[in-house]
Amino acid sequence: MVEYRIDRRSGVATYVQIVQQTKQALRLGLLEPGDKLPTAREVVEATAINPNTVLKAYRELEREGLVEARRGLGTFVRRGLNTAPADSPLRTELDQWAVRAREAGLDRDDVDALFTSVLDTHFKLDTHYKGDES
């Protein structure tokens, strides 16, 4: 089961953080079709956020066809996004790189900036990017 971590200083809306973390779990194969998401009550107890925020995130995931709410049963994964399994050799390499970056004195923000820069170089945004509907 996924455990949500909310960063109140990130500037990213809380419901968006839940959506992003759910998608990340789907991509890594940590969540698979048929898996049940935590209830809104469980998320509220773990994160101290408003239940409506959780429900908003789950509605967005449902709108995208990733989950489905089953009345009285909960919210379940409909389809996965796993293209980069958690046990991928690439993950192992990235993990080793992150250890080296930390040993070199980089903090999380430094690593984030460096990694984002590299991603931007190799994965240029195109017109198919969600949010660019033109």
Dump pLDDT digits (tens) for 30-52: 899 999 999 999 999 999 999 99
- Cross-strand partners of 75: 69
User: Mean pLDDT in the chain?
Assistant: 88
- For the entire predicted model, the pTM comes to 0.68
Residue 121 pLDDT: 84
- In the predicted model, what is the mean pLDDT of residues 89-106? 92
pLDDT at 133 over 60: no
**Amino acid 128: pLDDT:** 45
DSSP state of 12: S
- Cβ contacts of residue 127 below 8 Å, gap of 6+? 134
Cα separation, 43 vs 82, whole angstroms: 23
Q: How far is CA 103 from the centre of its chain?
A: 26
Angle at 64 between CA 126 and CA 7, to 5 degrees: 80
